[in-house]
Each structure stands twice: as structure tokens, then as C-alpha cells.
Structure 1
Amino acid sequence: MSSPDQDVLQPLGREDWAAVSNAINERMEELGWRQRILSERPQVSQSIIRELQYNTVERKRSTRTLEALSTALGFHSEHLYNVLRGETPSPSDDQSVKHDSLAQRLEVAIELLLHIAARIDGVDGSIRDCWRSNQRSARAGASA
């Protein structure tokens, strides 16, 4: 069992939070994700993701936070921590991470397609309502 102190990143000689921010932003752009989509995956709040993404608050973070974000982004679980320490993370050879990343991308694509379909249905309904209204007006004008 780990103590709370073991879960908090200990200060290092050099912590590069800007590099962590860049890694998160690049990966989110690569995946076509927004903060909301990312915050639905790990157990990390959208406000913490925002802080890390925009590098607005540099403070001690739980190792679990960086691990959860790394995994959600399809990286090895220590990827963002290695970036923070200035180490070049080695690409993961773990096929499950690659598979999870693909599955997450497909899930996002499906979510976006469902959202687009719902909007099209709404537009279709609005057009139908306008057409019916015009038909009623035309009939009323013809009978007058």
C-alpha cells in the first residue's frame, strides 16, 4: 500500500511543465479531441486537464494524474512523467495501448457522427416545419 506522499510527484531538479503541456496538446490534436472528450476518459477533472494543457498552474501533482492522462491519451502510463523529467519517452511497444488508442479514436468518431446526425435531424425537422407552415399559408391565401 502506498502512502499519500508516495503518490505526489517529488520535486525534481528540473520539471518541464511546458513540455507536458505540449505533449498533451499535440496528442489531443492528433486524436482530434477536446478537453471535454479527454476528461470523460481518465478520472481527472476538466479543470486539472485545462491547467496542464495550458500550463497555467505549476504545482505538485499526483503521479496518478499523469498516469491517468498518459493512458487516456494512448501513451505508456509513465509517458507524461518522463516528459516532465526531461526524458525522451520511448514509444510503447505494448499492442494493447495501440489498440486502446484506436478504440478511443473510433469511439470519438462515432460520438461525433451521432452528434452530427442529431443536428441533421434537427435541421430536417425545422425544414419540414417551415414547409408545412408555408403550405398552410398558401392554402389560407388561396381560400381567401
Structure 2
Amino acid sequence: MDVGDGDWRRVADVVNRRMDALGVRQGELAVEAGVSTAILREIQQGVIARRRGARTLRALSTALGWHPEHLDAVLHRRVPPDPVPESDPAQDAVVVLLRTVVREIRGLRGQIGELTALVGERERAVEARGETTAERR
């Protein structure tokens, strides 16, 4: 479901007020929700350059501690659903641990990307010098 039509200014206002209330920064919320900072910035400004999927709003709603359909309801001027009931502490600990693991995996992906780029640069430099693998040894 696309959510391109609706009151994006209202969504921006609600998101910005919630971020202020929680003391969360843009980068932190983007990571928590699994969206890019560029997408979050568009939403915060109420200026949507292209249609956004419902998944983005659900992810942001959840990361802000709301019911997954909260921002979709705001967008379409409906009453947001009640918040999801609190889970038990054991489940909360697992969720925190899983979020930590996800952040670590994202960090490792970034490092792998950087290493891949460095290896590619090294290979191009070697090729430019005309060396073969045997000659380098």
C-alpha cells in the first residue's frame, strides 16, 4: 500500500514533537526504524519527494513507541490506535539485545563495504602497474 496522499505536514509535526519528547536524534531514529536519514528528513519536513510505503510509517511508528499504524492514521486524519501494550521484561531484554545485534550487523556491513572498496582500489592500482600476482610475490 502506498501512502503518498495525505497530510504529510501533520505527520511531520507529530514526528518532530515525539522526537523532542523522547530526546531522540534523527540519526538514532533512522537506525532504530531501519530507514535512511534522507527519508526521515523528508518526513520531518513534511516534504515528500516521492511516494512512501506503509512499511516506512510502520517502522517509524514502532521506533517512536507507538502502535505500528499510528502515523498512517495521522497521515489520513484518523484517530491513532491505542499503543501496543507493554511486553514482559524478559521479552524487552530480548528486543534490546536483537536491536543491538542488528546495529552491529549494519556496522559490519559498512565495514565490509569499505574493505571491498579498498581491495578494489588495490587491484586497480596493481593492474595499472601491469603486475601479475606471481610478480608481486
Please, what TM-score do these two structures have when normalized by structure 2? 0.59
SS in 2 for 1:41: helix
Distance (Å, rounded) in 2 between the aligned partners of 1:21 and 1:9: 14
Look at both structures and tell me which one has the larger radius of gyration over its CA atoms.
Answer: 1
Distance (Å, rounded) in 2 between the aligned partners of 1:10 and 1:56: 11
> What's the Cα RMSD here?
2.4
How many residue pairs end up in the alignment? 92
State the 4+ residue runs in structure 1 displaced beyond 2 angstroms: 7-11, 56-59
* Structure 1: tracts of 5 or more residues without a match: 1-6, 105-144
Question: What percent identity do the matched residue pairs reach?
Answer: 42
Instruction: Provide, for residues 83-114 of structure 1, a one-character-per-residue CA deviation record: whole Å limited to 9, x for no partner.
Output: 00001213315113xx96xx98xxxxxxxxxx
Q: Look up the equivalent residue of 1:17 and give its one-letter code.
A: W
Which residue number corresponds to residue 123 of structure 1? Answer: none
Please, what TM-score do these two structures have when normalized by structure 1? 0.56
- Aligned mate of 2:37, from 34, 46, 59: 46
Which residue number corresponds to residue 26 of structure 1? Answer: 17
Which residue number corresponds to residue 2 of structure 2? Answer: 8
* Structure 2: tracts of 5 or more residues without a match: 97-137
Q: Look up the equivalent residue of 2:9 and give its one-letter code.
A: A
